[in-house]
Amino acid sequence: MVAKDFRNGSTFEMDGQVWQVVWFQHVSQPRLAAVIRTTLKNVETGQVIERRFGPGDVFPDARVDKKEMQYLYHEDNLYYFMDMETYDQLPVNYDSIKDTIGYVKENEVVQVNSVKGKVIAVVPPIFVELKIVDTLPGVNDSSDRTNYKDAKVETGIKIKVPEFCNNGDVIKIDTRTGEYVSRVK
């Protein structure tokens, strides 16, 4: 993998360890060489570092295994997923999946990504429909999207929704950005 191709979630090997790109930014300044600023997470240890790379720096790709699994339930800090072929259950620590598990309801099938046997991500569908369980009462039933308020959905995450949304409304959310898309009727 060439550094100029880094994206959030990209995995590569560096210094004998597997790293995942958490954040990146291409920086180019007049009369200076371009650089790629990154925040990296060590897949095995969880260590997070900041590092700069030249756009031409090359690293070996890390092999990411992707498997469709069903989310069953969670107990304390462990989330359990079932292999749809073997029915084996895989416990996953919350810290490995905290950015996306809030978009997944029990019994949903999701993609589980792992490197060297360690789960690095749970990939939910791009759009999910979740019910609002706690928000302030709606102001009116217009489709005005200029004012937003906080809302908690059935999985426990909080997002911003337009003022006209109420408790019990089912809404569509873009899991890539965590933003409200529309109300589902």
Q: Are residues 49 and 88 in the same domain?
A: no
CATH code assigned at 79: 2.40.50.140
In this prediction, residue 70 carries a pLDDT of: 96
pLDDT of residue 171: 95
Name the 3-class secondary structure at 94.
helix
pLDDT digit string, tens, across residues 78-92: 999 999 999 999 999
CATH code of the domain covering residue 12: 2.30.30.30
Range of the domain at 12: 3-53
Give the max Cα distance, the chain.
58
Domain contains 59: no
Q: How far apart are CA 183 and CA 102, in angstroms?
A: 18
| Domain presence at residue 173 | yes
pLDDT surpassing 80 at residue 51: yes
Confidence grade of residue 145 (pLDDT, cut at 50, 70, 90): low
Q: Are 69 and 109 found together in one domain?
A: yes
Verify that 98 and 111 share a domain, yes or no. yes
pLDDT for residue 63: 86
**pLDDT value for 140:** 65
Q: Kindly state whether residue 58 falls inside one of the protein's structural domains.
A: no
pLDDT digits over 54-82, tens only? 999 999 988 889 999 999 999 999 999 99
CA-nearest of 109, 24, 133, 6 to 61 is 6
What is the reported pLDDT for 28? Answer: 87
What is the Cβ-side half-sphere exposure of residue 158, based on CA atoms within 13 angstroms?
A: 7
Structure token digits, residue 93? 């620590």
Between 16 and 40, residue with greater pLDDT: 40
The total number of structural domains that make up the chain: 3
Strands (E) across the chain are located at: 11-14, 17-27, 35-42, 48-53, 65-75, 78-83, 89-93, 109-115, 118-123, 127-135, 148-153, 158-162, 170-174, 179-184
42 and 76 share a domain?
A: no
In a domain, residue 135? The reply is yes
pLDDT at residue 117, rounded to an integer: 83
Q: Is 87 helix (H, G, I), strand (E, B) or coil?
A: coil
Q: Is beta strand 148-153 parallel, antiparallel or unpaired with respect to 127-135?
A: antiparallel
Given a cut of 90, whether residue 120 has pLDDT beyond it is no
Q: How far is CA 70 from CA 47, 79, 86, 122, in A?
A: 28, 11, 12, 11
Task: Check residue 147 and give its pLDDT.
Answer: 86
Element (H, E) at 96: helix 94-97
Is the same domain home to 36 and 77?
Answer: no
90 and 49 in a common domain: no
Scored b (16 or more CB within 10 A) or e, 134-162 reads ebeebeeeeeeeeeeeebebeeeeebebb
In a domain, 10, yes or no: yes
- Confidence at residue 89, expressed as pLDDT on a 0 to 100 scale: 94
pLDDT (0 to 100) of residue 8? 84
- Mean pLDDT for the stretch of residues 160-181: 92
